[in-house]
Structure 1
């Protein structure tokens, strides 16, 4: 099978397309034919070992001090089950599934991979009925991160929520989810993304190139930094006294419960993935270059099988 591997940290060029042996599932695993995956900020960070100074050493100890332990990236995916282990009870051959590869030894930049039926750090469930594989593949990470942090902030109806970085993957889901909860949403983004963020459902949009959100006269119940580029001290300038600040720099947790809620919202048409560009395993280097550029809107999909 084809897979994209990397044996050292660095620029997108460290990613190499190779022929590897097709894996076989253990008793508790499913063999997935990967139909699509994505390029997330987590993939880019792991490839470059671009960790903040405070966590650089702990992160390197977890993910590989001198070279990456997990040589196949791809944190989220959608695919079809081709084989199941003898102890698997939740799934059948032919099931269309989607999920994550968090803290597993392998990722989804491959034509096939083995995933445990259950493990503590990640999740796999049947994919949304009304999405294609390339759409389903970009849903798990961004949407679960957005939902987890909005729940942490105790989002409620009629609140005022400011979403910083509203046109990115987490941001585009956060705008839609905040709308689902009945909040009034203000999005912060660049000039070229104003119309997009309005289309996602933001009532007000602040163009950060022309206006500093901290100068706003509005007071918000929640400020959600979806790109890790603002701070609690800045957010406090526009937060109500009992307001909450959440950021993607916080620890988040994946769960089957979160992804089931996401799937329900997708199936009911209340949540839609935003795909900016589509690539293949052959053009994965180009895909990483594009995400590195910082110009990504929503998500970048990688189609593995047509």
Structure 2
């Protein structure tokens, strides 16, 4: 089968479209014929093997699985011996290791039936980013009507879902993005927009009940100045920081400080789960969230898609069609 693969960690130039063996599902997995795959920053971590601490799971010297990608949507080809939740021919979406390929294996507990009202491309844009936003705003941070919510990185994959989820709870959302994303985030429901190229989140002296930071490039001290005395900060993922621990160092600092403060400094490293995918399926089908797709690329241009992610500022998600 055709797949986007790499033999060693490094830049996007290490990636290539080539023939690899079709994977065989384990007892708790299914084999999915991939129709579309999402492209998000997690692929850059897979590609570079950074932060280095991630290699404990990815492979210390080279990738355990050379095929890149997580997000997918498609049709189940075969099911493992212990899988009872799904059957061949069923349309699904979720997370599977090596989704930038014609076929990928996925654990049954990381899949759900595809939302009826979404295309395969839209469904592939939903799993990792959608679950991340959902978990970030359903844990310690739960938007309530009238609360003031700041979403940093609002025009990206996670941010675009977070804006929609907060607006659905009738919160007042301020979105932080570049100038090209302003109209986009307003269309998602943001009331106010901060252009990070000309202003900072502390300029207006506005204090926020919840700050969701998906960018990872602001120090805790700055974020805390924009946070209400009893507010909740949620740091998403491991962006920013150095090569060894990335943004996890800042997150650990938040956990150390939080018990000493009235503010809650928390973080989310999302795990795609069947029950959360079912929640997203319902939210998509009732119109609460709609996947925003920046561009789609065919599989043979997936390397170009990853370069666009690396050098551009996508509005929503990038999707590869297979």
TM-score normalised per structure 2: 0.86
Among 110, 130, 135, the residue aligned to 2:101: 110
Query: Do the aligned partners of 2:98 and 2:105 also contact (CA within 8 Å) in 1?
Result: no
Q: 1:66 maps to which residue? A: 61
Q: 1:96 maps to which residue? A: 91
Q: How far off its partner does 1:114 sit?
A: 2.4
Distance 2:187 2:9 in 1: 38
Q: 1:266 maps to which residue? A: 284
Q: How far off its partner does 1:145 sit?
A: 0.5
Which has the larger displacement, 86-95 or 195-204?
86-95
Q: Does 1:134 align with 2:134?
A: no
Cα distance change, pair 26–188 in 1 and its aligned pair in 2 (3 A): closer
Q: How far off its partner does 1:70 sit?
A: 2.3
Unpaired segments of 5 or more residues in structure 1? Answer: none
Aligned ranges 1:8-23 → 2 under 5 Å: 8-23=8-23
Cα distance change, pair 46–114 in 1 and its aligned pair in 2 (3 A): closer
Q: How far off its partner does 1:147 sit?
A: 1.1
Q: How far off its partner does 1:213 sit?
A: 1.3
Runs ≥4 in structure 1, deviation > 6 angstroms? none
Distance 2:26 2:272 in 1: 23
Among 221, 224, 241, the residue aligned to 1:236: 224
Q: How far off its partner does 1:155 sit?
A: 2.3
Query: Do the aligned partners of 2:95 and 2:106 also contact (CA within 8 Å) in 1?
Result: no
Among 76, 82, 90, the residue aligned to 2:77: 82
Please tell me the root mean square deviation across aligned C-alpha atoms, in Å: 1.5
Q: 1:151 maps to which residue? A: 138
Q: Does 1:204 align with 2:192?
A: yes
Query: Do the aligned partners of 1:216 and 1:238 also contact (CA within 8 Å) in 2?
Result: no
* SS class of match (1:151): coil
TM-score normalised per structure 1: 0.90
Query: Do the aligned partners of 2:184 and 2:315 also contact (CA within 8 Å) in 1?
Result: no
* SS class of match (1:271): coil
Cα distance change, pair 233–294 in 1 and its aligned pair in 2 (3 A): farther
Q: How far off its partner does 1:166 sit?
A: 0.6
Q: Does 1:285 align with 2:297?
A: no
Distance 1:82 1:40 in 2: 25
Among 166, 170, 181, the residue aligned to 2:154: 166
Q: Give aligned pairs, total.
A: 291
